Amino acid sequence: MIFILLLLLFLTCCVSGTFVVNVTQTSYQAEENQNITLEWTFSTRRDTSLRSISIVCEMFTAIRISVLFHLQGGIESPESQDPEFAGRIQWDKDVLTEGRLTLHVSRVRTSDSGFYVCDILVRPDGTNSRRCWLNVTAAAEPTPLTQTVKPHQKIQGIIMLYIGLGISAVALLALVVSLSCLS
């Protein structure tokens, strides 16, 4: 009887919770028009084939849910992808069977901000999911060009100021002398 209980306990631990999905970062920060790579890792066996892997990655915001990547039995399904992500998502097929899902999102937009959840199913190992947050900020406004003054221009300006002051002083002196002669 004890043997059966121990066997059930051991099998329960082996069957449940052996398939693990993780994110390499829980939060990403990007600026508009940049490219970013989101990455998930999951447990696999050495003999895992691409055909045994199915993945659905979605973006969740307060106002919508968008499918950005869908892989069914190792075959990508671009028809289920939200048009907002069309042509902007690339994935690394080579590392998928090693337990890494890397999604390269190009030309990110502020509307790409949200939670990204990937549900990963590997047959017969199991299914699991994890989420990460992407925050995309608006691109910084370019700073206006300011006129730069070269050092020799500063010196020329100072010389012109002194010449102007000198001429003004001479003119004032001439005016004072001429007024004193008249009186």
Lookup result for tokens 């002669």: 181
pLDDT of residue 122 exceeding 70: yes
Distances (CA, A) of 159 to 148, 150, 155, 162, 176: 19, 15, 6, 5, 26
- pLDDT band, very low/low/confident/very high, at 25 (cuts 50, 70, 90): very high
Question: Would the pTM of this model clear 0.75, i.e. be above it?
Answer: no
pLDDT of residue 182 exceeding 80: no
Domain locations in the chain as residue ranges:
18-137, 149-183
3-class SS at 33? Answer: coil
Q: By mean pLDDT, which of 21-25, 121-125, 138-142, 171-175 is the weakest?
A: 171-175
Q: Which fold has domain 18-137?
A: Immunoglobulin-like (2.60.40)
What the block records as the tokens of 182 is 């008249």
What the block records as the tokens of 113 is 């901000």
3-class SS at 62? Answer: coil
Tens digits of per-residue pLDDT, 5-17? Answer: 223 333 333 444 5
What rounded mean pLDDT belongs to the chain? 83
Tens digits of per-residue pLDDT, 65-118? Answer: 999 999 999 999 999 999 999 999 999 999 999 999 999 999 999 999 999 999
What Rg, from alpha-carbon coordinates, does the chain have?
35
